[in-house]
Structure 1
Amino acid sequence: MKKIFLLVAVVLGIAVTQASAQQRQPVRFGIKAGMNLAEWQGQTINSAQDMMDMTKGSLHRKMREGFHIGAVVAIPVAPGFEIEPGLLYSQKGMRLTGKIPMEQFDFLNAGVTVTNKAEYIDLPIVAKLYIGEGFHIFAGPQVSYLVSNKVQVQAGALGFNALNQEWDMQNGFREFDLAATGGIGYRFASGLNLSAGYDYGLETVDSKGNFETFNRVIKASVGFTF
Structure 2
Amino acid sequence: MKKIFLLIAVAFSLIVSDASAQKRPGYINPEQPYNTQKQQSKVSFGIRAGVNLADWEGETMQSVQDLVDMSGGSFSQQMRTGFYAGGYVSIPILPGLEIEPGLQYSQKGTVLTGKIPLEQVEFLNTNVTITNKAEYLDMPVLAKVYVGEGFHIFAGPQVSYLLSNKVKAEAGALGFKALNQEFDMKSGFREFDVALTGGLGYKFTNGFNVSAGYDYGLNSIDDNGSFDTFNRVVKASVGFTF
Structure 2 unmatched runs, 5+: 1-37
Displacement, 1:164? 1.2
Q: What's the CA shift string for 1:158-178, capped at 9, x where partnerless?
A: 222232111111111101111
Displacement, 1:92? 0.6
Displacement, 1:185? 0.7
Displacement, 1:47? 2.1
Listed as ranges, the matches of 1:68-107 within 5 Å are: 68-101=84-117
Task: State TM-score, norm by structure 1.
Answer: 0.84
How many residue pairs match? The answer is 205
Structure 1 unmatched runs, 5+: 1-21
Q: What's the CA shift string for 1:9-34, capped at 9, x where partnerless?
A: xxxxxxxxxxxxx9932111111111
Q: Which stretch shows the higher mean deviation, 24-33 or 140-149?
A: 24-33
Are the counterparts in 2 of residues 59 and 98 from structure 1 also a CA contact under 8 Å? yes
Structure index of larger Rg:
2
Partner Cα separation in structure 1 for residue 71 and residue 200 of structure 2: 39
Partner Cα separation in structure 2 for residue 103 and residue 222 of structure 1: 49
Q: 1:202 aligned to 2:218?
A: yes
Are the counterparts in 1 of residues 40 and 95 from structure 2 also a CA contact under 8 Å? no
Partner Cα separation in structure 2 for residue 23 and residue 51 of structure 1: 55
Are the counterparts in 2 of residues 52 and 60 from structure 1 also a CA contact under 8 Å? no
Q: Which stretch shows the higher mean deviation, 109-118 or 125-134?
A: 109-118
Q: 1:163 aligned to 2:179?
A: yes
Are the counterparts in 1 of residues 39 and 95 from structure 2 also a CA contact under 8 Å? no
Runs of 4+ in 1 over 3 A off after TM superposition: 49-57, 100-109
Are the counterparts in 2 of residues 31 and 223 from structure 1 also a CA contact under 8 Å? yes
Secondary structure, aligned partner of 1:132: coil
Percent pairwise identity: 66
Secondary structure, aligned partner of 1:32: strand
Are the counterparts in 2 of residues 39 and 62 from structure 1 also a CA contact under 8 Å? yes
Cα root mean square deviation, aligned: 2.1
Listed as ranges, the matches of 1:73-222 within 5 Å are: 73-101=89-117, 108-222=124-238
